[in-house]
Every structure is written in C-alpha cells, then in structure tokens.
C-alpha cells in the first residue's frame, strides 16, 4: 500500500498528454548506488556486470548475478526501469562471453539492453526478438541516418547520442527518426570520441573498447611531493597539480602537454557536463531521456546528482516559462564535478 | 542516510596536529581495525575483494589531528601494524572532516579527490578496490529514534 501511493504521482504524470518530461536515467555501480538512484527519483537506472562486457569494468565495481537480481527487484517494485549496459566490443575468440552477457540480461528481465557493437546487436535481435534494445553512446551514431539504419536492421528503440552535437543538431536528429533519443545531462566529460577512442590504448595498451576501462587503475600513479602532485599513466606524466589546483581523472585527454613551447590542457580541461540551464529546451525538442554519467562514483554522488536533476526536471515540468536554475542545484552539481567546474559542452555552441 | 544532520567542512587549528603527532598512535589503529573487523563479522565485506587485500599494508593519516594508523589484512582479519617497516601499499590522507563526511556517505570520494581534500597514494588499483568495496556495503539501517525524525 505504501509504495503504491509513492508511485501513484509518477503514473499520473506519465499518463497526461503534457507529460513529455524525459526519463531521468541514473548510474549504478553497486547495489547501494542503485537504491540511492531509485530513492532519489530516478525513472531508470543502468548497470553492468563485473566483467569486460561493460565500459566501467573497474576493480570491485558492478554487479554479479545475485546483486543484479536484487537490484532489479528493488527498482521494479518501485515502478522504475533497469537498463543493462553491454557496451564494449567482443574481443577476438571470446564472442561467447558477450553473447552470454546478452542472454543473462534477458534472463534477469532487464527492461532494455544498451549495446554498441553491430555484431552483438545482430545477435541480440535474432536470439531475443522481443527484447528491447538501445544503441549505446559507444555505438557512435551522431546522424539520423545511422540511427535509422540500426532501427531498420536491429529494431533499436532508443539511441544515446554522443556528446558532440549542438542542441540544434539533436533537434534535427529527433525530427528525422522515430527512435527515442537519449542525451547526457550530467557527468564527467572526456574527449568524447566515444566508441572510437584509442588514447588509453596508446598509453597503456588497454582501452574501454577492449578491456572495458579507460586508463585502468593499475597503470595510474599519484605521486605526492611537497607542493605538487604528479599524475602518471603507465609512466607517462599526464599532469602536475599545485596544492590548491582542482584535480581530474588520469586520462590522456585531460592531461597538460607541451605544445610549441607552451604547456596547457591541449585537448580538454578536467570538467563535467551540466545541462541544467538548457532543460526547458531539451524538453521542448522532444528528448526522451536524460542520462547521468558516473557508474564509477559512489552512492553518495548518485544520490546528490539524482536528487538535484529530479528537482530541476519537476520544476521544468511545472512551468517551462518560469523555470530558472536554482543556485543550490548549481552549487550541488559544481561540487561533485570533475576539476570542480562544469560546462554546457557542445549543446550551446553557435558553430557546428 | 542522515537527512537532518550534516557534517560541515572544517579544519582543526594547526597546533592540534603538532600536539597529535606527539601522542601515541596505537589507539587510532585499534579503533579502525576494530571497526573493520566488526564489518567482517557481519559479513558486510565481499570475500572476492577481501582476498585482494591479503598482506597489503594500509596507512590512514588524519592531517589536522596529526593521527595516523597503519594496518594490514591477514588470514581473515584486519590487524594493526604499530611500527610499519616499509612504505604502505596504499595511503589515505585527509582532514578529519573529510573522513567523517566519507564515513557518513555525505560526500563522494572522487569529489573530495577532485577538490584536493583527499589524498590517495600508492597502489591506485588497490585504492579503487577498497573504495568500491566500501561503496558496495549495505550498512545496516539504524533504528529510527523518534527524536531523529522530523
């Protein structure tokens, strides 16, 4: 009875014609993180197995069959959806591991599987024609032609867009496809060559596509010296921080390099994407879901970010015209941001 | 977890650290190891990850109290190491408020790291294992006291 009352408001809003509010899709790297997402207002959580079939394959993170079953039960009992990320690329001679992951996801009863590899999409749609499939950001589809191809061939129902498009381009994609569109709303930014990035492999021979992790921890060294901290990735000096400088993740794309005599963030500064200011526009153009990055983060982060975006989305639903970003929301998101700074990313670029 | 009470960010005055360094360090180690073993007894820590901690030397340093504790994990128990004879495999350093915020799940370790409030040195992968192991623990819910609720 008690939880019946709790899900009632959401069901009512969903059934209203004006309810084009995007789903809030939140990360879960552990069972407490999943519960934090659900308890703080996520419509959907996404998770992965404890192996290299997903792109957050970090030591001690993610779900085994038992915790996954418990997590799915918890989310479904509260009327929320669970997506399984199988978003790495099957490695030579080990295709069976990825097929087993897809079969396992179907057995677990997830609401959708997020896939990047075309061969795996083909396998999933043939073996499990009833299973709902999403195209991962790692699938690197930035045009409606690519998305419609995956719809025609594999029946995908949703595509997650890489974080390189302007809002006008996102709208253009939405107008030219019946596939639901999911965009990133908050989280660490990288060089955003999603699904095609080999920078990590350049430094240490391993990358998200192959082992499911960018800059794996075993190659990372934080070296503290008086007044500075040095970050090394497989021996390569990535960055050197002064004691009062904010830090970022130890990836090549967020390193400071000497270019023509100048040392600076040649590719990108450590930063997080934050779309709060654009929420009314994102809702207006018909985005179906907003994704939060960060399966590698703690349950605390998941609770903080989910709670904040839930409040902002609900405020935007109540009145798009009067929507304004509350300083408290910005402060909460700025605090948890990489490098302690946030950006609107490509969304509001005037140029393309 | 704690809707009503939040731990503020604070730093104790410098003289406390210099005082703390002169005090014996074994009480910190005993308290820390006692808490970890209590979590073990309640089977809150997963065995697959615990196996990766075997014989590793850990050091936790509280910068603004000058307190420091070293410990290891061996044969199914966390044990204090009073006179470490080598550099730790993994070392954490932060002010007391940051450690309290972490323990209360009020702040995220990556957040504290980005903001330079938490220092992690040594074996980074071991650090990730420890962090993710603690993140995955479902702490038992404390009974709700009438005074603590709204």
Hey, are the CB atoms on B132 and A297 less than 8 Å from each other? Answer: no
> What is the length of chain A?
352
Which residue in the set A246, A270, A335 is minimally distant from B116, CB to CB? A246
> What is the length of chain B?
150
Cα B112 to Cα A21, B39, B108, B144: the distances in Å are: 33, 24, 6, 29
pLDDT tens, chain A, 352 aa long: 344 444 444 444 443 334 589 999 999 999 999 999 999 999 999 999 999 999 999 988 999 999 999 999 999 999 999 999 999 999 999 999 999 999 999 999 999 999 999 999 999 999 999 999 999 999 999 999 999 999 999 999 999 999 989 999 999 999 999 999 999 999 988 877 888 889 999 999 999 988 999 999 999 999 888 999 999 999 999 999 998 888 888 899 999 999 999 999 998 888 889 999 999 999 999 999 999 999 999 999 999 999 999 999 999 998 878 899 999 999 999 999 887 788 888 887 766 6
Are the C-beta atoms of residues B12 and B95 closer than 8 Å to each other? yes
Residue A351: its pLDDT value, please? Answer: 67
Dig out the tokens for A81 from the structure. 């959806």
A32 touching B (Cβ < 8 Å): yes
Q: φ and ψ at A229, to 5 degrees?
A: -130, 130
Per-residue pLDDT band at B144 (split at 50, 70, 90) = low
A220 touching B (Cβ < 8 Å): yes
Task: Give the residue from A63, A300, A332, A341 with the most B CB atoms within 10 Å of its CB, the best one to mutate.
Answer: A300
B42 touching A (Cβ < 8 Å): no
Hey, are the CB atoms on B128 and A270 less than 8 Å from each other? Answer: no
Q: What is the pTM of this model?
A: 0.89
Residues of chain A with Cβ-Cβ distance to B110 below 8 Å are 296-298, 301, 336, 338
Instruction: State the burial class of residue A10 (Cβ atoms within 10 Å of its Cβ: 0-12, 13-18, 19+).
Output: middle
Q: What is the CATH number of domain A2-189+271-343?
A: 3.20.20.70
Nearest CA in chain B to A247: B114
Task: Give the residue from B124, B133, B137 with the most A CB atoms within 10 Å of its CB, the best one to mutate.
Answer: B124
Hey, are the CB atoms on B109 and A244 less than 8 Å from each other? Answer: no
Q: First-to-last CA distance in chain B?
A: 14
Residues of chain A with Cβ-Cβ distance to B120 below 8 Å are 222
Helix axes A299-318, A31-39, angle to 10 degrees: 20
Place of tokens 């808490």: B35
B105 touching A (Cβ < 8 Å): yes
How distant is the Cα of B139 from the closest Cα of chain A, in angstroms? 9
How distant is the Cα of B120 from the closest Cα of chain A, in angstroms? 7
Residues of chain B with Cβ-Cβ distance to A61 below 8 Å are 128, 132
Residue B105: its pLDDT value, please? Answer: 87
For CATH 3.20.20.70, the residue range(s) in chain A are 2-189+271-343
Residues of chain A with Cβ-Cβ distance to B135 below 8 Å are 29-30, 32-33, 298-299
Task: Give the residue from B110, B119, B137 with the most A CB atoms within 10 Å of its CB, the best one to mutate.
Answer: B110
What is the SS3 assignment for chain A? CHHHHHHHHHHHHHHCCCCCCCEEEEECCCHHHHHHHHHCCCCEEEECECCCCCCCCCCCCCECHHHHHHHHHHHHHCCCEEEEEECCCCCCCCHHHHHHHHHHHHHHCCCEEEECCHHHHHHHHHHCCCCCEEECHHHCCCCHHHHHHHHHHHCCCEEECCCCCCHHHHHHHHHCCCCEEEEEEEEECCCCCCCCCCHHHHHHCCCHHHHCCCCCHHHEEEEEECCEEEEEECCEEEEEEECCCCCCCCCHHHCEEEECCEEEECCCCCCEEECHHHHHHHHHCCCCEEEECCCCCCHHHHHHHHHHHHHHHHHHHHCCCCCCCCHHHHHHHHHHCHHHCEECCCCCCCCC
As a whole number, mean pLDDT of residues B48-66 equals 91
Chain A / chain B CB contacts < 8 angstroms: 93
Q: Does domain B14-135 have CATH number 3.20.20.70?
A: no
| CA proximity to A338, closest of A301, A307, A299 | A301
- Long-range CB pairs of A11-17 (<8 Å, 24+ gap) are A11/A79, A13/A317
Which residue in the set B49, B106, B138 is minimally distant from A60, CB to CB? B49
Q: φ and ψ at A160, to 5 degrees?
A: -95, 120
Hey, are the CB atoms on B135 and A224 less than 8 Å from each other? Answer: no
Are the C-beta atoms of residues A59 and A296 closer than 8 Å to each other? no
Residue B18: its pLDDT value, please? Answer: 73
Residue A71: its pLDDT value, please? Answer: 97
The pLDDT of residue B17 is above 90: no
As a whole number, mean pLDDT of residues B51-60 equals 94
Q: Where are the domains of chain B?
A: 14-135
- What residues are paired with B124 via a beta bridge? none
Nearest CA in chain A to B120: A222
Residue A352: its pLDDT value, please? Answer: 63
Task: Give the residue from B132, B134, B139, B140 with the most A CB atoms within 10 Å of its CB, the best one to mutate.
Answer: B132
As a whole number, mean pLDDT of residues B76-83 equals 92
Q: Tell which phi-psi region holds residue B32, choosing left (phi > 0), alpha (psi between -120 and 50) or beta.
A: alpha
Are the C-beta atoms of residues A97 and A70 closer than 8 Å to each other? no
Which residue in the set A31, A245, A246 is minimally distant from B138, CB to CB? A31
Per-residue pLDDT band at B143 (split at 50, 70, 90) = low
A266-287 burial code (b ≥16 CB/10 A, e <16): eebebbbbbbbebbbbbbebeb
Nearest CA in chain B to A241: B116
Are the C-beta atoms of residues B123 and B89 closer than 8 Å to each other? yes
Residue B142: its pLDDT value, please? Answer: 56
Residue B29: its pLDDT value, please? Answer: 76
Task: Give the residue from B61, B99, B111 with the most A CB atoms within 10 Å of its CB, the best one to mutate.
Answer: B111
């Amino acid at each position: 009875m008690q939880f019946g009352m709790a899900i009632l408001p959401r069901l009512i809003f969903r059934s209203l014609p004006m309810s084009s509010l995007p789903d809030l899709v939140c990360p879960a790297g552990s069972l407490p993180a999943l519960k934090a997402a659900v308890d703080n207002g996520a419509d959907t959580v996404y998770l992965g197995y404890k192996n290299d079939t997903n792109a957050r394959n970090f030591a001690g993170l993610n779900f085994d069959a038992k915790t996954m079953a418990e997590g799915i039960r918890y989310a479904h009992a509260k009327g929320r959806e669970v997506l399984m990320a199988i978003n790495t690329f099957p490695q030579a001679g080990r295709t069976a591991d990825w097929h087993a992951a897809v079969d396992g996801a179907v057995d677990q009863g997830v609401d959708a599987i997020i896939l990047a590899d075309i061969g795996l999409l083909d396998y999933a749609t043939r073996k499990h024609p009833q299973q709902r499939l999403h195209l991962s950001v790692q699938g690197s589809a930035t045009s409606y032609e690519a998305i419609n191809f995956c719809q025609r061939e594999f029946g995908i129902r949703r595509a997650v867009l890489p974080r390189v498009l302007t809002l006008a381009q996102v709208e253009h994609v939405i107008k030219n496809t019946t596939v639901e569109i999911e965009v990133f709303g908050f989280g660490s930014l990288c060089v955003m060559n999603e699904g095609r990035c080999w920078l990590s492999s350049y430094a240490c021979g391993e990358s998200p596509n192959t082992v499911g992790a960018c800059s794996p921890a075993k190659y990372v060294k934080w070296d503290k010296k008086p007044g500075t901290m040095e970050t090394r990735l497989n021996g390569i000096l990535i960055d050197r921080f002064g004691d009062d400088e904010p830090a970022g993740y130890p990836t090549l794309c967020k390193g400071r390099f000497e270019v023509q005599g100048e040392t600076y963030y040649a590719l990108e500064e450590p930063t997080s994407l934050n779309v709060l200011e654009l929420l009314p526009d994102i809702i207006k153009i018909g985005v179906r879901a907003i994704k939060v990055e960060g399966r590698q983060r703690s349950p605390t982060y998941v609770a903080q970010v989910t709670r904040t975006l839930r409040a902002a989305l609900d405020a935007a639903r109540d009145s798009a015209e009067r929507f304004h970003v509350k300083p408290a929301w910005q402060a909460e998101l700025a605090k948890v941001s990489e490098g302690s700074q946030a950006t609107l990313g490509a969304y509001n670029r005037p140029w393309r | 977890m704690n809707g009503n009470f939040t731990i503020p960010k604070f730093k104790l005055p410098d003289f406390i650290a210099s005082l703390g360094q002169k005090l014996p360090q074994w009480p910190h180690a005993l308290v820390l190891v006692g808490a970890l073993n209590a979590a073990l007894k309640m089977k809150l820590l997963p065995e697959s990850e615990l196996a990766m901690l075997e014989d590793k030397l850990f050091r936790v340093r509280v910068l603004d109290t000058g307190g420091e504790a070293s410990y290891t994990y061996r044969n199914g128990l966390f044990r204090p190491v009073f006179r470490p004879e080598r550099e730790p495999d993994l070392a954490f350093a932060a002010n007391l408020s940051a450690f309290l915020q972490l323990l209360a799940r009020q702040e995220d370790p990556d957040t504290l790291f980005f903001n330079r409030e938490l220092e992690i040195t040594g074996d980074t992968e071991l650090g990730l294992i420890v962090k993710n192991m603690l993140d995955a623990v479902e702490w038992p819910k404390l009974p709700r006291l009438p005074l603590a609720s709204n």
